[in-house]
Amino acid sequence: MKTKRYLIPAAALLVAAFGVPAQADTLENLERERALALETLLSPDVSPAEREDRTALSRARLVDLERMVMRDDNLKGKNTPAVRTAFESYDLTFLVHASVERNRSLVDHWLEQVGVTTNSLMSARMGRR
């Protein structure tokens, strides 16, 4: 009886200690990595070969980070502006998965999502602002 009395709080403590693992801010990490990837893609100072190498590594990291965000239970129902915005635009947040899904290159997919398409570029007129 005495052992039972000590066992129950001990079990509860165990569940409390291991129930919710500590998490880094996965969404913040994803956004940082995505910003760096886009910087590489759009930077005019990087050679095509170097861009290809850097993008390949970035893409692999982004795949992991996108999955980590999606599997992060701490974000479930977390009604903050950052989380709301992230899930409002899936195609921009989960850039690699969305681009593969649509069978486009990363940069093409991103440009399309921000409203820059081949058609929009072709129909653009040069002018003075």
**CA distance linking residue 93 with residue 89, whole number of Å:** 6
Q: Does 115 bind other proteins (CB under 8 A)?
A: no
Nearer to other proteins, 96 or 111 (CB): 96
53-72 binders of other proteins (CB under 8 A): 53, 56-57, 59-61, 63-64, 66-68, 70
106-113 and 26-42 are packed helices; what angle lies between their axes, rounded to 10 degrees?
100
Name the nearest CA neighbour of 58 among 12, 20, 110: 110
Out of 94, 95, 110, 111, name the contact with other proteins by CB under 8 A: 94
Nearer to other proteins, 26 or 111 (CB): 26
27-56 binders of other proteins (CB under 8 A): 53, 56
